[in-house]
A and B are shown apart, each in its own frame.
Chain A
Amino acid sequence: MGNEETPQSSRRTTRSLASAIPSDNTSEAPRKSISYKPTIYDLIYRNRGDKISSLENLISSFPGRSSQITEVLGHLGPLNSPMFPLFMYGGASSGKTSIVLEIFRYLRRPFVYSSCVSCYSPRILFESILNQLAFHRRVEEYGYSSVKKCDKPSDFANFVKEALVSVLDILKGKSAKMSAKGRSADDLGNMIYLIIDDFELVREWDKSSTVLPFLFGLYRMLGLPEVGIIFISKVSPDGFYSNSGHIEPIPLFFPGYTEDNLRQIFMLKKEKSDLNSCFLDFVLKPFSRVTRQVDELSVAFCPLYEKYCEPLKVPGSNFSWETKQKRGDAKRRLFSHLVPHISPSLNQVFNISSHDVKATSDVVKGRTSVKKLGTQDDELDFHLSVSAKYLLISAFLASRNPATLDASFFDSTGGPSNGKKKRKCSEKSTEQKEMAEQELLLKGPGTFPLERLLAIFQCITYGADISIDEEEEVHDDDDDTLENQGAQNDLTSNVLLQVSSLCNANFISKGSSCPLEGSTRYKSTVSEELAVKIARSLKFPISRYLYRR
């Protein structure tokens, strides 16, 4: 999300607070005292400190976006001119939200901003808009309640019209007074704008699909020419088509940044422009082949830049930038220091060692970050108990191996009769083998009932205990096999707890219940590399138990 450039303000809390760059005006967000009386000026985006007053400033702070900015400005038009609803779309991190907010700061016009990420249901969206229009804050005083309870679109249509009319009345009164005094610079105009961000999420809200055409048609339904509506979405307008159609807003596309734009953006933030530009020479090209999103690139560049600057900080190193020859030499030395770090970083989604970076990428990725944890663990040590590790392995085995072969693998008398199975496999034609492989790729890990997991767990811990005991003394387990058995029987309650915590950590996913058996089925989401790694840490011979097709 393109909020790197958004300076923080006291009012906008949704996206600007998540931005990674700490801005210098955080201190100007004062704790609003209880006696604070909100006014119409709350609907303006303003910073008391610095003011972007010129259009040139605005355009230069967003490299590569000048045509989009002029288009939005043209669409909003001069003061007091009505507008058709605008639909802004473009990929993630292309500056849609930040540009719109900055433009409103520049224009000093009142607006209401709601994002469908934080307002995740129609009701919350409606109430957020109404709260802002009524200058209502959800504070302790009112028990954090909204100004109005509003569940249905039909109620919202009535309430919002009322609220808008009352705000517009205030605005008209203000602008009449202003023009009487002759201070047109302070005139807020008598338009109010509703901005709805992340609009693509609305499609998932209701299956009966009335909210979407309702919001698209809101402009016509209100019948107030003084209200401008702006939708911001990651999905193009053709992703919104519904059965009976709707009133279409005017589309405006924000294209992704080109390589030149990216360079300009990254040059904006750093102070040592000379050094930074050399650094970008090296990294921008390879990285932009992978992704061109500013947020992801900046996450990748941050640690790399630190690495790049490392030789400069070493005492005794003499880097000088005076002459051309020396500069070239310095560049070469810095580059050779950086080279080994580039390609690992290219193949990394996010860096775990740095807390800062991880937090931001978690925000960005949200949904998938947990799953990815399983695959990225070079330095990650698992703080799991031994039994949890065994559980993970047994879940992995249960997911990969067909249930019918369990007996032959885990039969304590026969032991794993690998040779026999191998032969059986090779008898199959290669074609069939390919088919099976394909199937595995498509189907993903298999499901298993809890009983099977526990049975495999019993088997491998029983087998493993002996082998471990022979090699090294496990401190809390006695050598006595009898006692061992007893401990394992005790374990079950403990194990069930561990299973549920592994489920919560998304190592094991809990599926729907099987229609035939009626019991819940589980599935391991752990990748093979991770399972092998865990097995190695336990010195458990996992390959002996893994069925190879």
Chain B
Amino acid sequence: MEKNPGEEALALLRTRICDPNAFFSLLPPSPDTNFSKLKFIVSSSITEACNNSVLLLGPRGCGKTAVLELVLKDLLAEYPDMITVIKLNGLLHSDDNCALKEIARQLCVEHQLLFSKMASFDDNTQFVISMLRECGLAHKTIVIVLDEFDLFAQGKQRLLYSLLDAMQSVTSQAIIIGISCRLDADQLLEKRVRSRLSHRKLLFCPPSKDELERLLECLLSLPVNSSLPQSYVVEFNKELRKILADQKFKDSINTLLSSDSTVDQILRFLFLSVSTMDLKTGILSVENFKSVVEKINRKPKLEYLKDCSVLELYILVCMKRLEVKEQNSYNFNSVMKEYKAIHDSFQTPDSYARNVCLRAFEHLIQRELICFMDNRGYNQSIEFRSVKLLISPYELHQGLEKNQNCPSMLQKLMNQTGQRS
């Protein structure tokens, strides 16, 4: 079967975008990137056989893990058989017992030892400490990566303390690398732990605009020497350069970055734009990029408001009116009273039985346009639990305007309540 070059190119681009390390491997080598700093710290502690610790801090999606992975990949190639990498994640191993077990397990896998599932906490501690010593004597470095470092600082921090304490001895040779999205991660530590930690910190920031523009071309252009037909590649890359220079494209990138300029966001944007590529022509266009910006910057509450049936809108407006009347707490029954009052005074065609209203009320709860005030009173029926609106008056107003089914009467009512407040 003949393969479509567009399809093949798409698969190639998607592979590239989905690889979190690709973005950072394209960055040019210079002495002040985080990559070279981190590499220097880690490699010097390997060659000098000393203990070290470093924290990688920065918002989510700025490439902390990706840069670390690249560094470790380089170093593993440079110093084979001298590094053992242990990876822990605060989400999974914040519990001391579990964490030590995992360290022991990974050490066993690395050194072809038999891991005992039944080993107790003490056994594992002993094992890890003696492994640290043995590795130190054999001049092997253990690199312990603690992802979500802030979660390890919960509780008594026994794991951190025992690891850092073991590293105080001369014989051991280990590097602890903590990764956290909390910039104050080291402030969370107890004094005894903090004093044992070397205060090296690397801060990761979103990429600058110039960097980004250079990278976009690298990420999206097709390689010349590949299985793809030559003429297609040339055409594709030419078209791509045209897009990148286009003002419309720059505008959409700017709107995207003004809300969130992390690498993750850019990659998501690129992924979506590339996946909308027309497979028949196999060429990207500005429209692909433009349409995606709206898709990423969503307004979920408004979307759900647009979905509401007329009865559900009535209930929302009733709740809004109750809020304007400064009733600090209200529940389904009071909403129903207001609903009846509206019906009595305006003779609306939409007056339904109580149970039907209750069902609509449940729909609203399901969509999280409204929610219960507190988690107490589970055994109470829904009618009596007090509720609150989860949307602002402005959102409700907009939602009513955008909803095609919304009766004009309801909009009038909403406007009245707006004026009164």
Contact = CB atoms under 8 A, between A and B. Distances in A.
A interacts with B: yes
B372 interface: no
A152 B98 contact: yes
B331 A442 contact: yes
Contacts of A488: none
Interface in B29-50: none
B309 A290 contact: yes
Given A154-B98, A289-B311, A217 B91 contact: yes
Contacts of B58: none
B363 A78 contact: no
Nearest to A76: B275
A462 B329 CA distance: 42
Contacts of B386: 442
Contact of B352 (A80, A346, A445, A525): A346
* Chain A CB within 10 Å, residue with most, of B89, B94, B301: B89
Given A235-B367, A510-B379, A220 B65 contact: yes
A286 to B, nearest CB: 9
Given A234-B366, A234-B367, A444-B384, A248 B303 contact: no
A91 to B, nearest CB: 5
A291 B309 contact: yes
Contacts of A157: 89, 92
A84 interface: yes
A236 B368 contact: yes
Contact of B300 (A89, A210, A512, A525): A89
A253 B264 contact: no
B380 interface: yes
A225 interface: yes
A371 B304 CA distance: 27
Interface in A235-265: 235-239, 244-248, 250-253, 255-256, 258-259
Interface residues on A, range: 35 or more
A348 to B, nearest CB: 7
Contacts of B281: none
Nearest to B269: A250
A347 B353 contact: yes
Contacts of B353: 347-348
A437 B303 CA distance: 37
A293 B93 CA distance: 43
A239 B301 CA distance: 10
A236 B61 contact: no
A237 B271 contact: no
B341 interface: no
Given A238-B300, A376-B355, A83 B18 contact: yes
A250 B296 CA distance: 7
Interface string B325-367: 0000111011001000000000000101111101110110011
B381 A236 contact: no
B405 A289 contact: yes
B366 A247 contact: no
Contact of B301 (A225, A234, A236, A441): A236
A12 B397 CA distance: 43
B250 interface: no
A164 B271 CA distance: 24
A546 interface: no
Contacts of A77: 10-11, 14, 275
A9 interface: no
A154 B303 contact: no
B351 to A, nearest CB: 9
15 contacts: A74-B275, A77-B11, A81-B14, A84-B268, A84-B271, A225-B18, A225-B19, A238-B300, A251-B296, A256-B306, A296-B359, A346-B356, A349-B356, A375-B354, A512-B379
Interface of B: 1, 7, 10-11, 14-15, 18-20, 60-61, 65, 89, 91-94, 98, 102, 148, 150-151, 181-182, 264, 267-268, 271-272, 275-276, 279, 295-296, 298, 300-301, 303-304, 306-307, 309-311, 329-331, 333-334, 337, 350, 352-356, 358-360, 362-363, 366-368, 379-384, 386, 404-405
Q: What are the 3 tightest A-B residue pairs by CB atom distance, in nearest-first order?
A: A236-B300, A444-B384, A347-B353
